[in-house]
Amino acid sequence: MKKQNLFSITSLTVLALSLAACGGKTESAATSDAAQTAAKKTLINCFEGSPAGFDPAQYTSGTDFNASAHPLYNRLVQFKRGETEIQPALAESWDVSEDGKTYTFHLRKGVKFGKTDYFTPSRDFNADDVVFTFKRLTDKEFPFNKAYPAEFPYAVSMGLPENIADIKKIDNDTVAITLKDLDAPFLQNIAMPFASIGSAEYADQLVKAGKADEFNRKPVGTGPFVFQSYQTDTQIRYAKNPDYWDKDNVFIDNLVFVIVKDSAVRAAKIQAGECNVAAYPKPAEITAVKNSGKAKIISQPGYNVHYLSYNVEHAPLGDLKVRQALDMAINKDAIIKAVYADEGIKAVNPMPPSQWGYNDQIKDAPHDPEKAKTLLAEARFDPNRVINLWYMPIVSATNPNAKLTAEMIQSDWAKIGVKAKLVTYEWGDYVKRGKKGEHDAFLIGWSGDNGDPDNWLGTLLGCASVGGNNFSRWCNKDFDKLVVQARQTVDHEKRVADYKQAQAIFKEQLPWTTVAHSVVTVFTTPNVHDFKYSPFGAVQFDGVKID
């Protein structure tokens, strides 16, 4: 990308704003100020959707996490950029008790919360902030939760409110978290975005001002960037955090998320140099960008699954024969070819083959429309019944064209006498309504968040996840027992055996039709270096350089 192309959207705009702000300065002084501003390194990310908010604790989607948790916050422990291994973050080290239930975290000293135009911290990060964060996630009676009631679906789906027995401040630099039951993936769980550490001081300030809800709209974190502004459906602006504890690893001065929902427009902008990073293209756009030679293409097998979730609380989807018929009617091979352009593999289980604990003995039912008709007849399916088939309004890491997927499923179901009405909503509303169970069938995707099978089987299908990420609202006691007991042991072979058995129950009961595991692609302009796409779907800009 030529530098003048980038400056056409960034530096020249900044130059004009700087000159306008100079007021009574001399022309040479104004020009000097503007030149200094223009010289700052600005990276523009063409972003796929508008975030529902900026409080990571409340959300579960990659769109929300990429706009909040990754640029603005840190966790006690974090995943290495582009990897699945955890490393120290706000906790420099930790000890685990002999019984595996108490984790004592030794906190990093000198960490500062980002200063914004609406909050100036008076102290460094300390144990009070950790206690505030985890009390908020686990205790409905916690004072801040009274001032600002919110749902924490990820924490709930992982059973943290039930399993955390105590959160204790030992001193300003030490916190102990005690569990009721052993939780094998606990450290991986709290490395996830929902466990981002918030400022207790900022929360107190908001409560005293009667503005506790601004915690979700005006974020304050310890992360590599600080929040500047958000224009709904237009752009989000961030600036480098000058006090960041790892500031030598931040090379961008200004970070701008320009919201571009159409993937074709994102692909055009990356080729024109109007943005520097763009994720989740459609296959045809990958080919066009490759042929243009104007951008770098980063592709890797996705640690994800795209699936159709059946709401078992809505008749007739509570009938196993109906779910089996709908599943057998869907031509997955055709969807892989048309939607993924063969840049994906057919999904059999609710987690990808690269995940340890994957049951490779399970097979898909065959695509068999005639058998599907027989099953519907046995279930006495009403041919006048219309099934509401919901599809995602955005291009995601798991599906480059959810609408086309829905249309193909609608066509397949029509061939067995099932009518489907296609439904979608704006992304935030789509997920919110889905968690309430308003749908009949719900197309959604998931990118793993912590490298553990529990993140798929427990988070997406566990009984505790109904009302959260369990969009099928399926609660099978035998399945749930296996997942919970696997979580509560450190015996790896036992965990593998339990997870494999749980997958067999899942496939037998079919709360989902598993569709595909996608290949994930990100475009960057040639002057962007060291960008690493996370296996968990995180788009992060610490460590990224731009010429």
471-492 tens-digit pLDDT = 999 999 999 999 999 999 989 9
State the pLDDT at residue 39: 65
Rounded to whole angstroms, how far apart are CA atoms 377 and 440?
20
pLDDT of residue 395: 81
> What pLDDT is recorded for position 470?
96
Identify the pLDDT of residue 50: 93
Kindly give the pairing relationship between strand 42-47 and strand 277-279.
Answer: parallel
In the chain, the N- to C-terminal Cα span, in Å, equals: 10
pLDDT at 342 over 80: no
Higher per-residue confidence, 436 vs 536:
436
E-assigned strands of 198-267? 225-231, 235-240, 254-259
Reported confidence tier of residue 495, pLDDT bands at 50, 70, 90: very high
Q: Are 180 and 161 in contact (CB under 8 A)?
A: no
Are 252 and 544 in contact by the 8 Å Cβ rule? The answer is: yes
| Residue pLDDT, tens place only, 402-430 | 999 999 999 999 999 999 999 999 988 99
Q: What pLDDT, on the 0 to 100 scale, is given for residue 20?
A: 35
pLDDT at 453: 95
Q: What's the Cα-to-Cα distance from 486 to each of 302, 362, 461, rounded to whole Å? A: 25, 19, 14
Quickly state the pLDDT bin for 449 (edges 50, 70, 90).
confident
- Write the single-letter amino acid at 15: L
Q: Are strands 344-346 and 512-524 parallel, antiparallel or unpaired?
A: antiparallel
What are 196-249's pLDDT values in tens digits? 999 999 999 999 999 999 999 999 999 999 999 999 999 999 999 999 999 999
Q: What was the pLDDT predicted at 7?
A: 32
Cis peptide before 316 (omega within 30 of 0): yes
Under a CB-based contact definition with an 8 Å cutoff, are residues 18 and 31 in contact?
A: no
Distance in angstroms (rounded) separating the CA atoms of residues 357 and 317: 29
The angle subtended at Cα 83 by Cα 78 and Cα 87, nearest 5°, is: 30
393 pLDDT band, cuts 50/70/90, is very high
Question: pTM above the 0.85 mark?
Answer: no
> Alpha carbon of 526 to those of 260, 270, 464, 529: distances in Å?
20, 10, 46, 8
Beta strand 102-107 with 91-96: parallel, antiparallel or unpaired? antiparallel
Please report the pLDDT score of residue 113 as a whole number.
Answer: 98
The pLDDT of residue 302:
84
| Cβ–Cβ < 8 Å for 473, 312 | yes
* Per-residue buried b or exposed e for 100-129, using 16+ beta carbons within 10 Å of the residue's own CB: bbbbbbebbeebebbebeebebeebbbbbb
pLDDT of res. 282: 87
Q: What is the mean pLDDT of residues 115-127?
A: 98
CB 31 within 8 A of CB 124: no
Of the listed ranges 37-41, 296-300, 518-522, the least confidently predicted one is 37-41
Work out the average pLDDT over 270-284: 94
All structural domains of the chain, each given as residue ranges with its CATH number in brackets, are 3-50+221-300+521-546 (3.40.190.10), 56-61+68-215 (3.90.76.10), 304-519 (3.10.105.10)
The yes-or-no verdict on residue 5 having pLDDT over 70 is: no
Q: pLDDT tens digits for 21-80?
A: 333 444 444 444 444 544 689 999 999 999 999 999 999 888 999 999 999 999 999 999
In the numeric block, which tokens belong to residue 341?
Answer: 């352009």
* φ, ψ of residue 404 in degrees (nearest 5): -65, -40
The strand ranges marked E within 136-206 are 164-171, 174-179
The angle at the Cα of 45, spanning 256 to 215, to the nearest 5 degrees, equals: 50
What pLDDT does 290 receive? Answer: 93
* Mean pLDDT over the full length of the chain: 91
pLDDT of residue 428: 85
Axis crossing angle, helix 27-39 with helix 11-21, rounded to the nearest 10 = 140
φ and ψ at residue 310, rounded to 5 degrees: -95, 125
Distances, alpha carbon 43 to alpha carbons 98, 149, 231, 255, 290, in Å: 47, 35, 18, 5, 21
